[in-house]
């Protein structure tokens, strides 16, 4: 007996919705009876190819993605030309304007967006159209047969593509743009000026810094009136000033709508069983209008509907590519340098080439290419990966490695790759030659991940990735495959998959996990070993023995290594509250061991900087104080103000609460560093609203705040709730931190984690008192198994002896460890760690 198939209805037959269905059919082909309603009378087509249709470069048939046979072959009921007018969420039915109604178990809204028509006088006249669908293309083609002067309002990507198409149709085209240069959302001024000159050479005209006041004419458009009083003759007006999510149906149906239909990381709306995807959806405040993010959303939604575990959609870094009649433009990431960033640019007016790279903290965060865009794919991959490009800036900007850089994302010309000697080094970080990579491919490594696992090529900085991909395509040919990458190049498993398998099979050591889950690299790497060590300790606190060799350098030696090879030692000072006796002890230790500098940190502690390696055990023994864990992925500090104890504005005992929380959570390991703060009144002197967990005293109790960060990416906290008693503060803090420990990915701070999983989800989990108590109990059980790590060094003579004789080379962080962002080298790095 087979299970009854569930009913799935998709409203919208566009690219995002149908891509979701394509994914779902691969994951669970027999799970649903699928019905699709499309407002247009066409099967699913590629909307981004409309400019080619308009320009005459493609026909309607050529841009169809899925023809009618595809729907029949997949047993999909398709209703074309049938817009849904009403959703009854109580009975779970949808109603179409043609009288058709359909039941659903799950409903996807993929209603897309509408062209934004300026609300100006005359905008409703004949001859005024948007540029959004096939009907608009057909209207422009029809107008070009009898009218000759076209005005395109909007100098963005869509407007320029529409203008190019109208030029091809033989029209006299003028582009009107309110800004002083074109494509200001994707390009900087130099690239925009070069683009404008090239388009002018093709016959396009421009009126910049012009604001349209009205459309002139009686029944049909005859021209435009601008705010400065000037006019332009035009008998076809194309509005290309942006899009608006099509949310009318959602608003009528009781869904939460802001700019778009509000969805969480799993594309769920506020109504049960109703999802939204694509241009109509608003995720974390953003409604995307580009294809790549919409496809990423569809993949997440398909997995949810198929019951496949998925981490959720976390937003997208976007890129844009414009190609109009030989003009190539690429833009990805951030193109206007933010504070602290630097811009590197190259311009060749003769060849018509411009290139700009935006670099922040040795990472590429944006790129603009004009005239030659073949490197766009490789640069965008670097932007998304966040890899370091330190030392390679000139190469990336000027293309000094020529063919070694990407050619259309492929890693270089085939001729260049074939002529490369077998002993030529491809991956300088790991000393991997072309011959090593070819041998790995011959041995069956047919994906980038497999090559990385076999040879370590591209496993470090990633700079050689385009070249490795080029070699893979050349030598593997049709056998080359794209394999899902996991937490690192050693495995294809994601964090959630690894944790689930550890629990299911009761795996208890790092080596066991690697063997059972078939790691490509038997020894792992600096990315996966620390994460596995953490996951095992989090899951089996009473049974798992921490593997020191799987920890970063600073965590192994319980101090931050500085740029001169000395160390920074931070004893724990609970809540920033100390005593004369404690201060004397710190001073005496500083004098005894000739510590060059003692500094107050941003976390209200004292930092002894410049401690020699061989003195570390003696320093800790003399201090006889717990470690402040200024080096670890653990609780760092609990910052406090004096609260009601001394301050006339204080309403609660902030110092007492801070000390209580710090003593409750000291020694707590976490996916990333954790910082707390307690403010004694809403004046918030302890800056609790930029901490991972912040507590603010108010009349009658405490406000609880979560997910803050004062580092590079500043984020204010979200309000988790209000409690009345000190015990409740500790219980909610424990539950929040344990839920974070159990669900965050390695190296993920609470700020991005809260954004990823959603505040409402966290509230829902923690609002259950029994679940809060269970989370608190699990955290207490874990902390009961741990001791201050320096007690091991001080109390075990043999371990201490071994430590004192370690060579300096073993104490220096490797590049892989530095990528963890918690192993600062130098005093500036230490200060940043304490204050962020």
Which band of pLDDT confidence, cut at 50, 70 and 90, is reported for residue 729? very high
| 95 C-beta neighbours (distance < 10 Å), count | 14
Q: What is the mean pLDDT of residues 411-434?
A: 60
Residue 118 maps to a domain: no
Last residue of a domain, one of 400, 429, 449: 400
Q: What is the mean pLDDT of residues 623-646?
A: 89
Same domain assignment for residues 654 and 753: yes
| Distances, alpha carbon 758 to alpha carbons 130, 145, 763, in Å | 36, 53, 9
**Span between the terminal Cα atoms of the chain, in Å:** 59
3-state secondary structure 154-206: CCCHHHHHHHHHHHHCCCEEEEEECCCCCCCCCCCHHHHHHHHHHHHHCCCEE
Would you say residue 793 has pLDDT above 60?
Answer: no
What gap in Å lies between CA 614 and CA 805, rounded to an integer? 8
Q: What is the mean pLDDT of residues 678-699?
A: 94
What gap in Å lies between CA 491 and CA 524, rounded to an integer? 9
| Distances, alpha carbon 542 to alpha carbons 418, 547, 779, 793, in Å | 55, 14, 12, 21
Same domain assignment for residues 640 and 782: yes
Residue pair 441/475 in contact (Cβ under 8 Å)? The answer is yes
Q: Report which secondary-structure segment, H or E, holds 782.
A: helix 769-784
What gap in Å lies between CA 66 and CA 64, rounded to an integer? 6
Same domain assignment for residues 443 and 502: no
Would you say residue 476 has pLDDT above 70?
Answer: yes
Range with top average pLDDT, 57-71, 273-287, 612-626, 713-727 = 273-287
Same domain assignment for residues 649 and 782: yes
- pLDDT for the residue numbered 713: 66
Same domain assignment for residues 196 and 265: no
Residue 222: give its domain's CATH number: 3.50.50.60
Least-confidence region, from 323-337, 588-602, 806-820: 806-820
**Which residues make beta-bridge pairs with 87?**
94
How far out from the chain centre does Cα 98 lie? 42
What b/e sequence results for 299-330 when a residue is b if at least 16 CB atoms lie within 10 Å of its CB, and e otherwise? bbbbbbbbeeebbbbebbebbbbbebeebbbb
What gap in Å lies between CA 525 and CA 456, rounded to an integer? 9
Same domain assignment for residues 28 and 137: no
Our CA dihedral for 200, 202, 204, 205, rounded to 10 degrees, sits at 30
Residue pair 2/59 in contact (Cβ under 8 Å)? The answer is no
Describe the strand order of the beta sheet including 84-88 as a list of residue ranges. Answer: 84-88, 93-96, 101-103
Same domain assignment for residues 678 and 697: yes
Reported as a single tens digit per residue, the pLDDT across 216-251 is: 999 999 999 999 999 999 999 999 998 899 999 999
- pLDDT for the residue numbered 353: 87
What gap in Å lies between CA 477 and CA 609, rounded to an integer? 56
**Three-state secondary structure call for residue 812:** coil
Would you say residue 1 has pLDDT above 50?
Answer: no
* CA-wise closest residue to 507 among 536, 531, 471, 481: 536
Q: Percent helix, strand, coil in the chain (nearest 5)? A: 35, 20, 40
- pLDDT for the residue numbered 65: 81
Residue 444 maps to a domain: yes
Would you say residue 834 has pLDDT above 70?
Answer: no
- pLDDT for the residue numbered 485: 65
Residue 568 maps to a domain: no
What gap in Å lies between CA 18 and CA 7, rounded to an integer? 16
Residue 715: give its domain's CATH number: 3.30.413.10
Residues with Cβ within 8 Å of residue 732, at least 6 apart in sequence = 704, 720, 721, 723, 766, 772
How far out from the chain centre does Cα 381 lie? 13
Specify the pairing of strand 327-333 against strand 319-324. antiparallel
Which band of pLDDT confidence, cut at 50, 70 and 90, is reported for residue 821? very low
Q: What is the mean pLDDT of residues 311-319?
A: 84
Which band of pLDDT confidence, cut at 50, 70 and 90, is reported for residue 691? very high
User: Can you give the length of the chain in residues?
Assistant: 836
Residue 719 maps to a domain: yes
Reported as a single tens digit per residue, the pLDDT across 244-303 is: 999 999 999 999 999 999 999 999 999 999 999 999 999 999 999 877 788 889 999 999
Same domain assignment for residues 433 and 465: yes
Residue pair 155/188 in contact (Cβ under 8 Å)? The answer is no
- pLDDT for the residue numbered 57: 62
Would you say residue 323 has pLDDT above 70?
Answer: no
Residues with Cβ within 8 Å of residue 244, at least 6 apart in sequence = 113, 114, 116, 259
How far out from the chain centre does Cα 26 lie? 26
Same domain assignment for residues 452 and 507: no
Residue pair 171/229 in contact (Cβ under 8 Å)? The answer is no
- pLDDT for the residue numbered 464: 65
Would you say residue 804 has pLDDT above 80?
Answer: no
Residue 629 maps to a domain: no
More confidently predicted of 179 and 461: 179
Same domain assignment for residues 302 and 327: no
Residue 275 maps to a domain: yes
Would you say residue 797 has pLDDT above 70?
Answer: no
Which band of pLDDT confidence, cut at 50, 70 and 90, is reported for residue 806? very low
Same domain assignment for residues 638 and 754: yes
Reported as a single tens digit per residue, the pLDDT across 574-585 is: 888 899 999 999
Would you say residue 153 has pLDDT above 70?
Answer: yes
Largest CA distance in the chain: 96
In sequence order, which ranges of 215-366 are alpha helices (DSSP H)?
Answer: 248-252, 291-306
Q: What is the DSSP string of 83-94?
A: -EEEEETTTTEE
Q: What is the mean pLDDT of residues 62-69?
A: 82
* CA-wise closest residue to 161 among 380, 307, 320: 320
If one counts the domains in the chain, the total is 6
Would you say residue 30 has pLDDT above 90?
Answer: yes
Q: What is the mean pLDDT of the chain?
A: 84
Residue 396: give its domain's CATH number: 3.30.390.30
Least-confidence region, from 31-40, 47-56, 237-246: 47-56
Same domain assignment for residues 148 and 189: yes
Specify the pairing of strand 353-360 against strand 342-348. antiparallel
Residues with Cβ within 8 Å of residue 167, at least 6 apart in sequence = 173, 202, 203, 204, 325
Residue 562 maps to a domain: no
| 14 C-beta neighbours (distance < 10 Å), count | 26
What gap in Å lies between CA 198 and CA 16, rounded to an integer? 33
Last residue of a domain, one of 510, 535, 550: 550
Which band of pLDDT confidence, cut at 50, 70 and 90, is reported for residue 201? confident
What one-character DSSP code corresponds to residue 122? T
- pLDDT for the residue numbered 106: 97
Residues with Cβ within 8 Å of residue 747, at least 6 apart in sequence = 531, 633, 671, 672, 820, 821
Burial of 384 (0-12, 13-18, 19+ CB in 10 A): middle
Reported as a single tens digit per residue, the pLDDT across 514-544 is: 999 988 877 887 778 889 999 999 999 988 8
Range with top average pLDDT, 165-174, 414-423, 541-550 = 165-174
Residue 472: give its domain's CATH number: 1.10.10.1100
Least-confidence region, from 10-19, 27-36, 435-444: 435-444
Last residue of a domain, one of 190, 216, 241: 241
Residues with Cβ within 8 Å of residue 287, at least 6 apart in sequence = 113, 245, 259, 260, 279, 280, 281
Specify the pairing of strand 93-96 against strand 674-679. unpaired
Least-confidence region, from 75-84, 467-476, 498-507, 647-656: 467-476
Residue 584 maps to a domain: no
Least-confidence region, from 139-148, 204-213, 342-351, 809-818: 809-818
Least-confidence region, from 132-141, 405-414, 700-709: 405-414
Which band of pLDDT confidence, cut at 50, 70 and 90, is reported for residue 411? very low
Our CA dihedral for 537, 542, 543, 546, rounded to 10 degrees, sits at 40
What gap in Å lies between CA 370 and CA 187, rounded to an integer? 9
* CA-wise closest residue to 22 among 62, 81, 72, 70: 70
pLDDT more than 70, % of the chain: 86
Host domain of residue 719: 634-787
């Amino acid at each position: 007996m087979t299970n009854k198939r569930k009913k799935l209805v998709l409203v919208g037959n566009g690219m995002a919705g149908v891509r979701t269905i394509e994914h779902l059919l691969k994951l669970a082909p027999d799970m649903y009876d699928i019905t699709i309603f499309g407002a247009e009378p066409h099967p699913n087509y590629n909307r981004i190819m409309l400019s080619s249709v308009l320009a005459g470069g493609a026909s309607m048939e050529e841009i169809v993605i899925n023809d009618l046979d595809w729907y029949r072959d997949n047993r999909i009921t398709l209703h074309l030309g049938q817009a849904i007018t009403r959703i009854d969420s109580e009975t779970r039915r949808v109603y179409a304007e043609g009288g058709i109604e359909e039941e659903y178990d799950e409903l996807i809204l993929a209603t897309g967006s509408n062209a934004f028509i300026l609300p100006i006088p005359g905008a409703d006249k004949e001859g005024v159209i948007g540029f959004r669908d096939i009907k608009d293309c057909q209207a422009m083609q029809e107008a070009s047969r009898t009218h000759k002067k076209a005005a395109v309002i909007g100098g963005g990507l869509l407007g320029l593509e529409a203008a190019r198409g109208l030029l091809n149709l033989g029209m006299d085209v003028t582009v009107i743009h309110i800004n002083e240069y074109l494509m200001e959302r994707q390009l900087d001024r130099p690239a925009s000026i070069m683009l404008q000159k090239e388009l002018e050479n093709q016959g396009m005209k421009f009126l910049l810094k012009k604001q349209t006041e009205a459309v002139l004419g009686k029944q049909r458009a005859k021209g435009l009136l601008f705010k400065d009083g000037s006019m332009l003759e035009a008998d076809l007006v194309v509005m290309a000033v942006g899009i608006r999510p099509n949310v009318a149906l959602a608003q009528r149906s009781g869904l939460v709508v802001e700019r778009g239909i509000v969805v969480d990381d799993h594309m769920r709306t506020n109504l049960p069983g109703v999802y939204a995807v694509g241009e109509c959806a608003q995720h974390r405040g953003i409604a995307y209008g580009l294809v790549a993010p919409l496809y990423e959303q569809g993949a997440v939604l398909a997995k949810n509907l198929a019951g496949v575990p998925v981490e959720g959609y976390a937003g997208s870094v976007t890129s844009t590519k414009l190609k109009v009649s030989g003009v190539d433009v690429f833009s990805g990431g951030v193109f206007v340098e933010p504070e602290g960033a630097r811009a590197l640019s190259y311009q060749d007016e003769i060849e018509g080439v411009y290139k700009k790279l935006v670099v922040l903290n040795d990472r590429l965060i944006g790129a603009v290419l004009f005239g030659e865009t073949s490197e766009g794919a490789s640069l965008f991959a670097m932007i998304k990966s966040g890899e370091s490009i330190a030392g390679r800036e000139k190469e990336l900007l000027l293309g000094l490695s020529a063919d070694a850089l990407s050619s259309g994302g492929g890693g270089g010309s085939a001729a260049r790759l074939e002529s490369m000697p077998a002993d030529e080094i491809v991956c300088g970080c790991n000393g991997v030659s072309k011959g090593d990579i070819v041998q790995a491919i011959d041995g069956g490594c047919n994906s980038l991940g497999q090559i990385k696992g076999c040879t370590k090529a591209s496993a470090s900085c990633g700079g050689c990735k385009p070249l490795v991909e080029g070699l893979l395509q050349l030598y593997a040919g049709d056998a080359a495959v794209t394999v899902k990458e996991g937490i690192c190049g050693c495995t294809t498993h994601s964090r959630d998959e690894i944790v689930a398998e550890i629990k299911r099979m009761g795996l208890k050591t790092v080596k066991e996990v690697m063997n059972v889950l078939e790691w490509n690299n038997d020894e792992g790497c600096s990315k996966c070993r620390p994460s596995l060590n953490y996951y095992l300790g989090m899951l089996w606190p009473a049974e798992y023995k921490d593997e020191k060799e799987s920890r970063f350098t600073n965590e192994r030696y319980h101090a931050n290594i500085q740029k001169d090879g000395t160390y920074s030692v931070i004893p724990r000072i609970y809540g920033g509250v100390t005593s004369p006796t404690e201060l004397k002890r710190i001073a005496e230790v500083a004098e005894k061991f000739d510590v060059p500098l003692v500094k107050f940190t941003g976390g209200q502690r004292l930092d002894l900087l410049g401690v020699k390696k061989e003195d570390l055990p003696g320093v800790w023994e003399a201090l006889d104080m717990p470690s402040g864990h200024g080096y670890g992925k653990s609780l760092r500090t609990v910052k406090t103000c004096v609260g009601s104890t001394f301050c006339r504005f204080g309403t609660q005992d902030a110092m007492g609460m801070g000390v209580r929380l710090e003593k409750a959570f000291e020694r707590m390991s976490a996916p990333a560093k954790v910082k707390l703060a307690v403010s004694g009144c809403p004046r918030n002197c302890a800056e609790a609203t930029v901490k991972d967990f912040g507590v603010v005293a108010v009349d009658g109790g405490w406000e609880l705040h979560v997910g803050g960060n004062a580092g590079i990416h500043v984020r204010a906290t979200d309000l988790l709730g209000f409690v009345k008693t000190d015990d409740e503060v500790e219980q909610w803090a424990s539950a929040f931190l344990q839920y974070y420990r159990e669900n965050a990915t390695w190296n993920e701070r609470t700020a991005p984690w809260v954004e990823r999983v959603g505040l409402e989800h966290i509230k829902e989990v923690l609002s259950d008192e029994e679940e809060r108590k269970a989370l608190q109990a699990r955290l207490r059980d874990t902390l009961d198994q741990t001791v201050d790590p320096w007690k091991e060094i001080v109390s075990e003579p043999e371990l201490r002896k071994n430590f004192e004789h370690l060579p300096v080379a073993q104490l220096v962080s490797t590049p892989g460890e530095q990528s963890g962002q918690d192993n600062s080298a130098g005093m500036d790095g230490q200060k940043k760690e304490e204050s962020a």
